[in-house]
Structure 1
């Protein structure tokens, strides 16, 4: 065992450098995968790698910086690994991160000044390490390649800091001087819907940037209404939003794309790559066959791995840059037809680009039910989780834990699931928003009294969602028609957003601050009796609802008409919640696979609806400072 630890200690710096490089390769190829899905394991792995990359590189630099005394005493590091000090610039390259992921969450962008301070500190430390190594060894042969590698490393590290600054919603992130914006192509240049969609999304980017920052829209949105209304159906419109959010906005916030769209960014990237190439050539000349005994074959091999592996990663990064919609649109506008066709081909590829059939987000909507929380309803596919919940509840009861709120986090973990967003849901949402734009109003013969009573009592958003959620469950239990599936999807999704979403309080301004307390309050008020069969509980819930609002609900008459009203009401509530949501919360959600409500919010931005449109200005002027004017619930539902 002592021999093993001795070997590890002797080769510690080599292991650290190789580990740092492996982490960078992993981040490059997985950094952008999180935009497509909500896989928790993958997200945790990326998070560990993102944090571990800096830790490993900084630790390795610190390890090298304190080797002066150690080498003086026993000559171990100098005798065995004389090339170790040459790896300090490579560690700066690793600290610069990869093009596919500069920040893990939106909060990382807000800390760009801290990264700038780290840049100064780590570059100073790396220079100190390299300077001392040259002095100790009096070896000036590595001075020239080391200088060029330092140039490449400092530029790469600086790129990450600037990308974090551009990704900060509270900084000036204008791309007006973008190299790719110098020529603005016309929509008529492109054949086919795919090309028009990419160009249109690109032209809208600056205005969506402003909306994420809470700044009113600019002038380029003026042609959206006519283009979207007269040209696109609901699936094409949702795909357009998909491109805007997943391909362009995600890149602007979480990658180095905005930096590499600037002339200065491209020039610096070229200087960095040329410096690395020159350093590689000089290093090859220095470590000729005659120098193998001096520097060690293993260390030379590791250095070549760092060089060649870094070049391969950069080649992949260049291909991904060429395969971006920005590059393709710029090449088309500049008349570079052959290069544009190559970029279009890469853009449509499954490996490097964004093919038309691949969604740029998870394409799922969360599902959570109150009946799942109290243990009365579990989908068939969650039969295993139902048994687990039953065991946990029994164990909790044995220890005297009888309050259901103690198990809320367990219920969220086991009972929350995701389902695919189908065309029926998107078609309903697009149709309803377009209905708004034409001043359309809806009548609620069955649910109207409930809404009026809820607003009269000044019921909060959580209460209304909970009531409608229970009403939906009761109605679906009593009737089995074709509308049941979509009603349940929308009902469970809104209940998921209000209670089970990990950022419910920030995504929904109308949601309760503490989901655990809110759902326990709902359980006590509306489901005071949670024992017995599902039918008993639903009947008790129906009685409690009618007692609360003092209205007899028509839950058994005209089931189709009632379900249609419930369906349309859930669509209206989702639109209302999207209009009242935080723009920065939607920006943060892009790093977690995206949410359906973000698409609704962006669609409302385009159509100038909700708090992001002129309607909010009119409402503010109408209400003034009068607190007696009720909230805009009825206004949103057009009662």
Structure 2
């Protein structure tokens, strides 16, 4: 062992020399690399289905700030004293490099915040700006007496302060208090109560009969609503209008009855596809407000700041290239300086392209100055348009976008039986290839997109290696539980991802639209609809003759109903023999809406999705998280015991597991034999499945309606901040339902305005 000491010493000395030579340069280049990565990859976080990519972006976001702060500390620690005549040229470059780190701390435009909590820390970033600006100024003054790069350094300092100030401004505007305050209307004290009481006293003293009446303020007549399908630009304009109207949902503000009527009348005339397109653009605006600099950049001050920052960087590059004697400096350090300057300019150029092609640019009616570029933007919108396509092997149409998705377009799923048996997730539908929509576009306004499609397709291959990161997480379950990684690994291993099916969105849109019509009957009906967790469907029409109280009792929590109906849906799904329409899925025609196949698929998709939200996204469910976990674990334990008793092998399929559960005698309610100590609902679900089977093929329409009812209720009860949090992580279907419910005038976010009058009686 002693013979290894000299070798170890040599290695440590070598590492020390490498560190002393490369510490500042390495930190600078690493910071530039992180900024470039975030600039190019961060926009994909809103449209990715890969949790591994989200994790990588999160790590890069955190490490980028730490690296820039660390590099500024290294520079300020290595700068020489003005009295030291040696290394003056090195001091010049160190002083010139320091403002670049302020530029990096300003963050790329596509990602000012990773989560909503980051917006609340804007004061911390303001303090950091002051400290880092002081550190950069210290480095600058250390070299001031002999610095030949004073003007370029000063220009870069201005650009760095502007970029960091933009980030702080964006964080401040997106913080909860600031965002709420920006939406508050002008204060309204209401009628003068003291004056009215004086009037009432005078009338009473004069022996005049008086009374007060209360009138509801009538709704204003809605403007003419467009009847036909919406063009791409019209989708953008309407989405921006409703974003401006309904962005107060995020901070629980109330809306006027006029806003409700306008929105309800507009969406009542829309097709499900146009409604989906409007909502996805509307959510894209919310994403821009809370996670990027888009709202700041699309303002007069933002334009001025951006022109000054870009101009400062460009002039600094020109001065360094044309008016600096570069022979005085180390050639390697000169190359590093060029890398920083050109890297800063490249990121500004990419930011300009993102700014121009953002939805914010053409959100309002097009400015005359933008008219010449409208054709280019129409072509770009064609590449972001969501439409329905059929992939080989799919029974139904699924959502696809030519190139640039605004959200993941997927519906995640978590299945109780698969998780109980620790089997790999299975999918019913296939995602379309990115080329499928492109091949249908052919020509847009005379411009062929083949070349662009091929180019962008090759660029997107850069992201493929990132998807393999999630496959590297193989940590034993006991260790994962102790380290707190179990839920993350379970999501990687057992959660499936399905494309959004047209039938699924159609039934959601249809059911909510029908509810909005029935809600107009009376306030009592509207209140019952908004608070329904499946009862509205079961207690109406052809299903009301059955006693559903055992499965839909008022005492049952939302988590109990989700687990109960999820297992029952699985039992019905696997026990059903394939229908004739399903067996002919290879045909080119879509099954008719009256056939059980579409409702069977949508019921299964919604069932797995709701369990995914309950188990993997508990913050989005209006339940007591602890009780939901206990109920899920107790049901799992009872299923494990049943499968072990029946020797269910790991290689057997879900259908066999369903047969075992369905084969248990459930003539007596489980609570009468077991009591209520265990929260398991396994055999309650079996009893529900037997009841549903009485409807034969008609049960799938019923089940799908119940799931839509549960989904819409969960969407309205979820905290708005939880919805906004998911926009930056690929988006969730429940968030689309949340906005759709609000646009149809349902929920509790609308106020009725009453007018009180004091009049003389007869």
What TM-score comes out, normalization by structure 2 length? 0.69
Query: 2:705 maps to which residue?
Result: 568
Query: 2:499 maps to which residue?
Result: 420
Match of residue 620, structure 2, among 487, 507, 518: 507
Per-residue deviation, 1:116: 1.0
Question: CA-to-partner distance for each residue in 1:378-424, whole Å, 9 max, x for gaps?
Answer: 55579xxxxx9xx999x97xx9x9xxx99877644421121111101
Decide whether the 8 Å contact of 2:279 with 2:740 is kept in 1.
yes
Match of residue 410, structure 2, among 343, 364, 382: 364
Query: 1:200 maps to which residue?
Result: 238
Distance verdict in 2 for CA 1:486–1:309, change over 3 Å: same
Distance verdict in 2 for CA 1:364–1:61, change over 3 Å: same
Query: 1:172 maps to which residue?
Result: 179
| Aligned partner of residue 543 in structure 1, secondary structure | coil
Q: Distance in 2 between matches of 1:355 and 1:494?
A: 25
Query: 2:531 maps to which residue?
Result: none
Query: 2:630 maps to which residue?
Result: 517
Match of residue 163, structure 1, among 163, 170, 173: 170
Per-residue deviation, 1:153: 0.8
1:30 to 2:41 alignment:
yes
Distance verdict in 2 for CA 1:406–1:213, change over 3 Å: closer
Distance verdict in 2 for CA 1:346–1:320, change over 3 Å: farther
Per-residue deviation, 1:259: 0.5
Query: 2:139 maps to which residue?
Result: 129
Per-residue deviation, 1:123: 0.9
Match of residue 607, structure 2, among 477, 488, 491: 491
How does 1:226-237 map onto structure 2 within 5 Å? Answer: 226-230=265-269, 232-237=270-275
| Aligned partner of residue 99 in structure 1, secondary structure | coil
Per-residue deviation, 1:537: 3.7
Per-residue deviation, 1:566: 1.2
1:216 to 2:254 alignment:
yes
Q: Distance in 1 between matches of 2:365 and 2:487?
A: 54
| Aligned partner of residue 327 in structure 1, secondary structure | coil
1:337 to 2:378 alignment:
no
Match of residue 150, structure 2, among 143, 151, 168: 143
Per-residue deviation, 1:282: 2.3
Decide whether the 8 Å contact of 2:715 with 2:734 is kept in 1.
yes
**Which structure dedicates a bigger proportion of its chain to helix?**
1
1:244 to 2:291 alignment:
no
Which protein has greater RCO, CA pairs closer than 8 Å, 6+ apart? 2
Per-residue deviation, 1:562: 2.0
Distance verdict in 2 for CA 1:378–1:17, change over 3 Å: closer
1:12 to 2:31 alignment:
no
Distance verdict in 2 for CA 1:349–1:381, change over 3 Å: closer
1:113 to 2:123 alignment:
yes
Query: 2:583 maps to which residue?
Result: none
Per-residue deviation, 1:490: 1.2
Distance verdict in 2 for CA 1:315–1:562, change over 3 Å: same
| Higher alpha-carbon Rg | 2
Per-residue deviation, 1:603: 0.4
Distance verdict in 2 for CA 1:174–1:249, change over 3 Å: farther
Q: Distance in 1 between matches of 2:242 and 2:156?
A: 39
Decide whether the 8 Å contact of 1:373 with 1:408 is kept in 2.
no
| Structure 2: gaps of 5 or more residues | 1-10, 184-223, 386-399, 429-470, 520-535, 580-596, 649-656, 673-683, 755-762
| Structure 1: gaps of 5 or more residues | 177-185, 383-387, 619-639
1:469 to 2:603 alignment:
no
Distance verdict in 2 for CA 1:54–1:335, change over 3 Å: closer
More displaced stretch, 193-202 vs 522-531? 522-531
Q: Distance in 2 between matches of 1:55 and 1:62?
A: 11
| Aligned partner of residue 143 in structure 2, secondary structure | helix
| Aligned partner of residue 558 in structure 1, secondary structure | helix
| Aligned partner of residue 557 in structure 1, secondary structure | helix
| Aligned-pair Cα RMSD in Å | 3.7
